[in-house]
Structure 1
């Protein structure tokens, strides 16, 4: 798509495709939200393009990000994942993913993971109107509250900066700058 895009996606074709088709698009499916939150946790300390390039390997290694499967994993699975060069091999993040799967199951059974997240925005995406990337915050009070709620349920690697990046990626907030070719299209999806 010709035109102005958010500057963070640069010129990498994979990043551009992600920006144009996924980032900021409202997501209401609880499993898809969980996968993206887990990937954002793995991204901590790294660039998102690193995770994007490894996303297919992550999906294979984590069996399609099925929380019901991952919740039952133990040390043998941790060792298998630590030996997998296709993913980020970080014991703490791998173990957190297993615990996060268990927490996801509890939340899903109690009323749904999607509703648990979207309640922070009354079920509708926040439509920001930032003119420049410099205006976009790294975290917000809503992200702080969501991170606190997630942690209270047993989630790890979901601090407010990770949570806000997750909110941006999954369209809980629309942080495409107003001159971006995706801003109005994404805004219309949340209307």
Structure 2
């Protein structure tokens, strides 16, 4: 997720003799740079992967994304690799264990929400295509084309609608901003700056924000849009 105090750009257009162009937040630490260059905006289409990203975005709320990245492996270990079935089975002893784990963000409300969100993920799986299909069904017809940090949105009509639907289904810590951060993190929308060397990295969006044909991951092509 973009931290408000890290928005910005650095560098110039990609070309011969020019360095890669990144948002300024991605230049603040090597972990952020690696995340920006290799992961941010790439499609994630499985339930466990989307559940992990949703959980981490929720833990990030009010904090910096760098804090979450530094603790990511500890989070994965503490939350059973974000396997929804295993996390949904967590009970009070597990909550207590997590609250004693200095490797993660020890916020009781967010920990309990993650367990509850795992249970909601299982309900979705039992009732239909699952969490990944639901989240991807809110992909926009067009993605933003920001040229400056000021043009990078923090929400969208689709993220507002997704947050509303997730809350209806029993998910927590899923407001419009968190939902949009999730959408941009997993390729549903592309908010890389137009001049960025990572613009269009998902293969789903052209530089001008239009969809590239029917270029969705095969397992999601039948998902209707909201």
Whether the 8 Å contact between 2:74 and 2:104 is mirrored in structure 1 is yes
- State the structure with bigger RCO (CA 8 A, min sep 6), 1 or 2: 1
Query: Which residue of the partner structure matches residue 90 of structure 1?
Result: 107
Aligned mates of 1:185, 1:67 — CA distance in 2: 28
Query: Which residue of the partner structure matches residue 164 of structure 2?
Result: 148
How much does 1:9 deviate? Answer: 0.9
Matches within 5 A, 1:1-191: 2-110=19-127, 111-121=129-139, 126-187=142-203, 191=215
Structure 1, residues 20-66: CA drift from partner, whole Å, max 9, x if none? 11111122112101100000000010000000000000000001111
How much does 1:188 deviate? Answer: 5.0
Aligned mates of 1:119, 1:145 — CA distance in 2: 11
Aligned mates of 2:87, 2:204 — CA distance in 1: 35
* Structure 1: 5+ residue stretches without partners: none
Structure 1, residues 107-136: CA drift from partner, whole Å, max 9, x if none? 1222221111111127x8x43211111101
Q: Which protein has the bigger helix share?
A: 1
Post-superposition, which runs of at least 4 consecutive aligned residues in structure 1 deviate over 2 A? 184-191
* Structure 2: 5+ residue stretches without partners: 1-17, 206-211, 216-226
Tell me how large the CA RMSD over aligned residues is: 1.7
Aligned mates of 2:24, 2:204 — CA distance in 1: 21
* Alignment length (residue pairs): 189
Aligned mates of 2:204, 2:163 — CA distance in 1: 27
Q: Name the larger-Rg structure.
A: 2
How much does 1:69 deviate? Answer: 0.7
Aligned mates of 1:80, 1:37 — CA distance in 2: 21
Whether the 8 Å contact between 1:143 and 1:164 is mirrored in structure 2 is yes
